[in-house]
Structure 1
Amino acid sequence: MKTVKIYTYNPKNQKSGFEFYALSKGLNSGKPLDVPCPNCFVISCRNAEELDVYRSLLFGLWKTKAFYPFLIGSVIPYIRIGDFKKFVSEQASHLKGREKVFRNDIRKVKTLEQREKHIHEQLLLISELKHIYIARHLKQ
């Protein structure tokens, strides 16, 4: 797998067809994004398959907090673009030949997150119902 082009986002630059973004500031540094923001890097890929692999890779790295050791700054932590490029490149070369299995595992993680979100919403509804059952017996 060839390395992708990674650079700092600038709204004046022209957007290519196969690119996505990653946050560069805050505790969510490295989080993949579909829409650019002022504090992000652009990951420009050659085709849709490469884009899918790198998006999955960044999602996995972000989810496991793999970028935390690279964060610097006392008030607002951020990651340097050089550290980001080097780390992503190392991880991509480590995945070489196992992209299909990795994407399958990422798909499973995303499914579990959707289930977790659904359960969380149900717990909020249960909590609200408990409140309603008790509140209707209290004097207003």
Structure 2
Amino acid sequence: MKAIKIFTYNPKNQKSAFEFYALSKGLNTGKPLDIPCPNCFVISCRNAQELDVYRSMLFGLWKTEAFHQLLVGSVIPFIRINDFKDFIFEQINYVKGKEQVFTNDVQKVKALEQKERAMYEQLLLISELKHIYISRHLKR
């Protein structure tokens, strides 16, 4: 599975069909992105299946803060591209043979995050309603 290419994002480079991005600076290092930003790496895959496996892997590593051990820098932490590549390939080799189970678990986590987001939105609406109910009885 080492056929993927990982390189630093440059807006001058041509975008391929099967690529996604990962943040390379800050405490969200490794977070998978659909839209590139100046501080990211490009992960270019051969096909959609490979893209899904690597995106799931990055999502899981980012969620568990696995990249924090590789961060360097005192003001704005960042990860070196070689450290990033080595860590990704090491993790893929570890998961090799268990891709389906891993992908299923990642899908469950994503579903839970969607529910968490919906609950958060409901809590915001409840808070706003409480404010409206009380404020309509107060003099302005």
Q: Same fold (TM over 0.5)?
A: yes
Q: 1:67 is matched with which residue?
A: 67
Q: 2:115 is matched with which residue?
A: 115
Q: Which segments of 5 or more consecutive residues in structure 1 lack a partner in the other structure?
A: none
Q: Work out whether residues 24 and 39 of structure 1, in 8 Å CA contact, stay in contact via their aligned partners in 2.
A: yes
Output the CA distance in 2 between the equivalents of 1:121 and 1:77.
31
Output the CA distance in 2 between the equivalents of 1:70 and 1:2.
21
Number of residue equivalences: 140
Structure 1 residue 84 corresponds to structure 2 residue 79: no
TM-align CA RMSD: 1.0
Q: Work out whether residues 32 and 59 of structure 2, in 8 Å CA contact, stay in contact via their aligned partners in 1.
A: yes
| Amino acid in the other structure paired with 1:75 | V
DSSP 3-state at the match of 1:138: coil
DSSP 3-state at the match of 1:67: helix
Q: Which segments of 5 or more consecutive residues in structure 2 lack a partner in the other structure?
A: none
Q: 1:138 is matched with which residue?
A: 138
Q: Work out whether residues 3 and 89 of structure 1, in 8 Å CA contact, stay in contact via their aligned partners in 2.
A: no
Q: CA offset at residue 130 of structure 1? A: 1.0
DSSP 3-state at the match of 1:21: strand
DSSP 3-state at the match of 1:88: helix
Moved more, 47-56 or 1-10: 1-10
Output the CA distance in 1 between the equivalents of 2:15 and 2:124.
40
| Amino acid in the other structure paired with 2:119 | I
Q: What TM-score comes out, normalization by structure 2 length?
A: 0.96
Kindly provide the CA deviation profile for residues 31-76 of structure 1, in whole angstroms up to 9, marking residues without a partner as x: 0111111111011111110000000000000011110111111111
| Amino acid in the other structure paired with 1:5 | K
Name segments (4+ residues, structure 1) moved above 6 Å. Answer: none
The share of aligned pairs that are identical, in percent, is 75
Q: 2:21 is matched with which residue?
A: 21
Q: Work out whether residues 7 and 42 of structure 1, in 8 Å CA contact, stay in contact via their aligned partners in 2.
A: yes
